Structure 1
Amino acid sequence: MKRISSLIIFSLAAAGTFVSCRKADPVMRSEENLLSDIYATNDGNGGQRLFNPRYSNDTIYFDIPYFYPEDSDNETDLSRIILRGSIPSDAKLSPALGSFADLRNPYPIKVTSGTGEEKHYVVIGKKVGNTTIETITVTYMDADGEEQQIEGVVQPSGDVLFYVLPGTTLTDAKISYAINRHSTASIAQDGAVDFAQPVPFVITGVDGIAKTYTLKATEPVKLDYGIGINRKLWTKAGADLGFGANNEVCLAVSGDNIVITRRTNPSKFSVYNRFTAAFVREIPSPFGSQLSFQMVEDTVGHLLAASWAPKNAKFILYKYNDAMDNAPVKFLEWTNNNPAGITGDGGVGRRMNIYGNLDGDAVIMAPAGISNIIYKWRVVGGALLSQTPEVITYNGLANGATSFGYYAEAQPVSADANANYFINYQFDIALVNGTTHERMSAFSYDTRVYGVFHMPTAYVTFNNATYLAIVKYSDYNLNKINMCLFDVTSTSKISTPFTDPNYGTFNVFVSDEFAGTANGNGTADIAVGFSQNKERMQVYTLLTNGGVMAHEFTLYAP
């Protein structure tokens, strides 16, 4: 026993001598010392991204609501603001972020690179009032003495346009509006307004800063095709909507409401008014402890709630007539027996898309995770043709992809038996032949077109134009997004490159950036609704760990 121990000791000593002769590889330090991201939150909201910065050279400004939430009486304390951000991997930041920063005075921070170079910033916080018009309506008496209403459209210029048909006189016109409860307006609620001339309308925030809008009655000039005047309808941070960490993954539109799916245990479906973002109610999950990632709408606002079904679990769909339906019916129950023999994840229910009317004819498609398999169900005359799906093998994986990944969407473009469909996964967005399942046309493989990542999809027709709405991500934290509208009426446009002079006729809208905290799953969603006899279209975008933003598009010429 002693001899064996001696041999071990000798061997270790020899090994140590040998290793000590080898020089360690040098560690290469980076010169990078720039902040790649910074945002602010407040006491009690953890890592929620509540306030975004404005930059001017090395000065970082935060305009922080005077009260938070803005319609509460909770006055913001600038001495208890929490800053969070990102720096290069071997850089150091001083003082460290994540604890309270006192922004009552300029707050210096320093980033030091791995090689010792320093970059200095100053953070300045300011409490600001709210001068936004949330909604505004004019009420008047028509020629028959009946009360009529017209909703105003707020323009970025500050003009508020009320579209009045030729020959209409706004008799006894009065305005009503919704503004922040701490703000004041120059015209009283239900105050009389004379639209013979443009009318100034001043909103003053609690900080004393005022914004002047101009109310105008104008005859609408309707476009024959496509979107016209548009506006941001509202934006709500995740904290305003009760978001948890990585839980909110799906958004649906039904009637005057949106429904947010929360993949808690049990899962929940939260209903909000889609014009005001006011909470309406919770829909209990019909799945018990089985998770749900999805409640999606059909073309007319019926809803399908889907269970998450890994291999050998049940994929179940419940149908709701609308967001106020308290008696959903089981629409489908299928055991995911992995009919295609998928060796990867193979789960169903992370993403599902519908085209058509569930009370008439419709197509439902759901990709399987880490595969090139799509499951498809057809609805004819309001009933499923079969509980067992058609198994589609997609033959067009492109740009180096070996599978769809975990999150992909297959969006049918009709309710026909062999409906073509759009496929949207990390490496590609393409229109696919519904018979051969080969790519017919594809987006240009370019991050300028669809970001470093893209995922949710909506397919709609508005004012004689057909649009594909997607969300694109601008960095690999997957927490900064833009909502984009692409005109796909003519399939010849789908492959338009970013450098083409006519690219703007294809990518017709890109929203401002919307940001949240790091989103490891890369989840977001998009849904579309209509109002005023389809003269207005609302597009809602959800970002996991971020919140929801709403945009409205009209068919009126700018």
Structure 2
Amino acid sequence: MKNSIISFASAALLCLGGCHEPDELTPSDTGLGLNSISAQFSTGEYKNDPLAKFTATPTEGEERIVIDIPYYYPENSTNTTSITEMRVTANLDDNCFITPRLGTLDLTQENWFTLTRADGSKRDFCVTGNIKKSDKCEIISFATDEPSIQGVIDNDRNTISLISADDLSAVTAQATLSPHATISPDPAEVHDYEGEGMKFTVTAHDGVTKRIYTVSKEIPPKIKYGWRAGSETEIWQNVSLDKLGIVNGSDKNYSLAASGSKLVLSTGADKYLFNRATGDYLGTLDMKGTAAPGGMTSDDAGNILYANLADPNATFRIYTAASTDDTPTELLSYTNATGASMGKHISVQGDVKGDAIVTAVIYTWNGAVCKFLRWTISGGVAAKPQMISVTGATAGWNGNGHADVEAYSANPDDPYFLTYYSANSLYRIDATGAVTNTIATSQWGANSNYNCVDVCAFNNARYAAIYTGAHFTYGEFKTYMFDVTTPEQLTGACDTSPARVFTSNEYKPAGAVVNATGDVLMTASADGYKLNLYYTDANTNALVAWEFDCIDK
């Protein structure tokens, strides 16, 4: 009986509630309603490219919304843009709408629309475009010809330091500028960089924006340790490698090397050249008849190492070349007696023309022991390799080469760093192969493919970097850098470890994943002022460059 009374009372209350006239709901904060307007190319090579998205933010009271479109796209190309067919979209507050609907517009014209906001108020506005010449006017790189000195650029102070004891009173130089900028006077002419040095004026493509640099012989101060917080800069990125004909496939194996002013991207048998400072594509690398479809890397002196692929009982070879112009010569060979395949990942510390450590991972499947070969090079001569079996880390699914190991230094008694799929962690191991410290996978790392690691010494510190490659369309796609100088802080997870000093931006796969292969590479400049980090991912079509410095400001 009690339940019936409660049910009857509840029903009565519901009836009373249903007869009550509802209050009119009014938004507490109307806002502008229209937050931004964006335009993308609706035709051509860069149709709907997420990076070719140009956005304008409206302000209250202004009817005309002008979207700036670069004069050239990409900006470092000579492809002039057309804005007669642009796909236009808007970011609106809730319960706001635009009439007529946005779509493909001719942005050379004034296109009028009405915005209706959540409170019912209306606002007429116009969308149009402006083809804008670049206002960028930086010197990206500056180097003298003879003697060859790479300038240290400080864009905060507009100075370039030439660190040298040579006479620089009459030398020529080469400068790389922001796209379509000009420089005066011409650094290719003879100039005096002694004393107060030379002043150069860089004028942007717009012909108006200018920057004056002073180039002189001096030694800028350094901070005491590592790279300077705040100096980290993504200097360029290319996330459309497929537009250069660099396309992922099941037989591809991506790796990186840096030599002189060039960055090399290998996809296996094919190798591609880029300008390290600007990311400009320079064409393919002529291997001069050397077949090396395996991994590739470069040493501290800029020597490039190329490997072949070797199944059991086949001959594994590593070749080397001092530059991208030189013919590769054999550095070492080994009859593969490991019982497994090898060659997709190789690493080096030191200078292979002097003293170095070279490592190559052995492909092992789930549940097996992680193994790698280590060659000690003294005076340019490689000793017989040693097999290192890792204890404390069981192999994951790295039978396809999804693993990498890198030495801490050129001393074989120093530790090594290992990462592999699918543990997706960073392991510090001693010279015998025993794991001493572990940084576990990040919060979203389980869905990624940690298959590459690099170690670099810079300004009294040592850094290890790993790239969390795309194994699925979801997960994370970024580079982590850790200070590994002090092993006690190599704890926690990749995204929370006290050793973590840097996390890169993410570039996600635009379509289905094909083959999880990528690489990460760090290089320190010869003068010790700049640290560069490069990474690539076949599934995200990405090749990205970051720069750090240790200039005391």
Check whether TM > 0.5: yes
SS at the partner of 2:488?
Answer: helix
- 2:434 alignment partner, one of 438, 450, 455: 438
SS at the partner of 1:492?
Answer: helix
Matched, 1:254 2:220: no
Alpha-carbon separation, structure 2, partners of 1:532 and 1:393:
34
**8 Å Cα contact 1:252-1:295 kept in structure 2:** yes
Which residue identity does 2:254 align to in structure 1? V
- 1:511 alignment partner, one of 504, 509, 529: 504
**8 Å Cα contact 1:48-1:517 kept in structure 2:** no
Cα separation, partners in 2 of 1:513 and 1:252, compared to 1, 3 Å? same
Q: 1:3-60 CA deviation, whole Å, 9 max, x = no partner?
A: xxxxxxxxxxxxxxxxxxxxxxxxxxxxxxxxxxx99796247998753676989xxx
Deviation, 1:236, is 3.6
Alpha-carbon separation, structure 2, partners of 1:351 and 1:149:
33
SS at the partner of 1:447?
Answer: coil
Cα separation, partners in 2 of 1:56 and 1:497, compared to 1, 3 Å? farther
- 1:465 alignment partner, one of 457, 461, 471: 461
Alpha-carbon separation, structure 1, partners of 2:45 and 2:360:
41
Deviation, 1:132, is 5.2
Deviation, 1:423, is 0.9
Deviation, 1:429, is 0.9
| Partner residue in 1 for 2:6 | none
Residue correspondence of structure 1 range 32-431 to structure 2 within 5 A: 43-44=44-45, 51=52, 65-78=70-83, 104=107, 128-130=132-134, 131=136, 133-135=138-140, 137=142, 151=151, 153=153, 155=155, 160-163=158-161, 178-180=176-178, 182-183=180-181, 189=186, 203-206=203-206, 220-228=220-228, 229-239=231-241, 242-246=244-248, 247=252, 249-263=254-268, 267-278=269-280, 279=282, 282-284=285-287, 286=289, 288=291, 292-311=293-312, 313-329=314-330, 331-335=332-336, 339=339, 346-359=340-353, 360-371=355-366, 372-381=369-378, 382-386=380-384, 390=387, 392-397=389-394, 402-404=396-398, 406=400, 407-417=402-412, 419-426=414-421, 427-431=424-428
Alpha-carbon separation, structure 2, partners of 1:250 and 1:212:
39
| Partner residue in 1 for 2:116 | none
Alpha-carbon separation, structure 2, partners of 1:546 and 1:556:
33
Which residue identity does 1:433 align to in structure 2? D
| Partner residue in 1 for 2:482 | 486
Alpha-carbon separation, structure 2, partners of 1:420 and 1:366:
16
Deviation, 1:286, is 4.7
Cα separation, partners in 2 of 1:172 and 1:328, compared to 1, 3 Å? closer
Name the count of aligned residue pairs.
460
C-alpha RMSD of the superposition: 5.1
Which residue identity does 2:270 align to in structure 1? K
Q: 1:281-335 CA deviation, whole Å, 9 max, x = no partner?
A: 62227565xx714221233332221123345654332232332222522621434
- 1:535 alignment partner, one of 506, 519, 529: 529
Cα separation, partners in 2 of 1:188 and 1:356, compared to 1, 3 Å? closer
Alpha-carbon separation, structure 1, partners of 2:391 and 2:255:
24
Which residue identity does 1:242 align to in structure 2? L
SS at the partner of 1:74?
Answer: coil
Unaligned runs of at least 5 residues, structure 2:
1-38, 59-65, 89-102, 112-126
Alpha-carbon separation, structure 1, partners of 2:471 and 2:55:
19
Cα separation, partners in 2 of 1:227 and 1:101, compared to 1, 3 Å? same
Q: 1:398-429 CA deviation, whole Å, 9 max, x = no partner?
A: xxx74446311111224455553111123211
Cα separation, partners in 2 of 1:394 and 1:309, compared to 1, 3 Å? farther
Which residue identity does 1:522 align to in structure 2? A
Cα separation, partners in 2 of 1:311 and 1:132, compared to 1, 3 Å? farther
SS at the partner of 1:396?
Answer: strand
| Partner residue in 1 for 2:4 | none
Give me the TM-score of the superposition, normalised by structure 2: 0.66
Alpha-carbon separation, structure 2, partners of 1:312 and 1:175:
51
Which residue identity does 2:501 align to in structure 1? V
Which residue identity does 2:434 align to in structure 1? E
Which residue identity does 1:422 align to in structure 2? F
> Percent of aligned pairs with the same residue?
18
Cα separation, partners in 2 of 1:361 and 1:293, compared to 1, 3 Å? closer
**8 Å Cα contact 2:46-2:52 kept in structure 1:** no
Which residue identity does 2:406 align to in structure 1? Q
Unaligned runs of at least 5 residues, structure 1:
1-37, 84-99, 108-122, 140-145, 340-345
Cα separation, partners in 2 of 1:184 and 1:63, compared to 1, 3 Å? same
Cα separation, partners in 2 of 1:475 and 1:358, compared to 1, 3 Å? closer
- 1:549 alignment partner, one of 534, 537, 544: 544
Q: 1:410-461 CA deviation, whole Å, 9 max, x = no partner?
A: 11224455553111123211101231x3321111443378994433211011
**8 Å Cα contact 1:45-1:239 kept in structure 2:** no
Cα separation, partners in 2 of 1:79 and 1:347, compared to 1, 3 Å? farther
Give me the TM-score of the superposition, normalised by structure 1: 0.65
Cα separation, partners in 2 of 1:136 and 1:404, compared to 1, 3 Å? closer
Deviation, 1:467, is 0.4
Cα separation, partners in 2 of 1:497 and 1:460, compared to 1, 3 Å? same
Cα separation, partners in 2 of 1:163 and 1:330, compared to 1, 3 Å? closer
Deviation, 1:486, is 1.2
Matched, 1:520 2:514: yes
SS at the partner of 1:370?
Answer: coil
Alpha-carbon separation, structure 2, partners of 1:440 and 1:50:
42
Deviation, 1:224, is 1.2
Deviation, 1:215, is 5.0
Q: 1:224-268 CA deviation, whole Å, 9 max, x = no partner?
A: 1111234333334444982422157111112332222133xxx12
**8 Å Cα contact 2:481-2:500 kept in structure 1:** yes
| Partner residue in 2 for 1:90 | none
Deviation, 1:150, is 8.0
SS at the partner of 1:481?
Answer: coil
SS at the partner of 1:411?
Answer: strand
SS at the partner of 2:477?
Answer: strand
Alpha-carbon separation, structure 2, partners of 1:541 and 1:384:
28
Q: 1:193-219 CA deviation, whole Å, 9 max, x = no partner?
A: 9999xx99775445x8x6565757998
**8 Å Cα contact 2:72-2:81 kept in structure 1:** yes
Alpha-carbon separation, structure 1, partners of 2:148 and 2:357:
37
Alpha-carbon separation, structure 2, partners of 1:412 and 1:471:
17
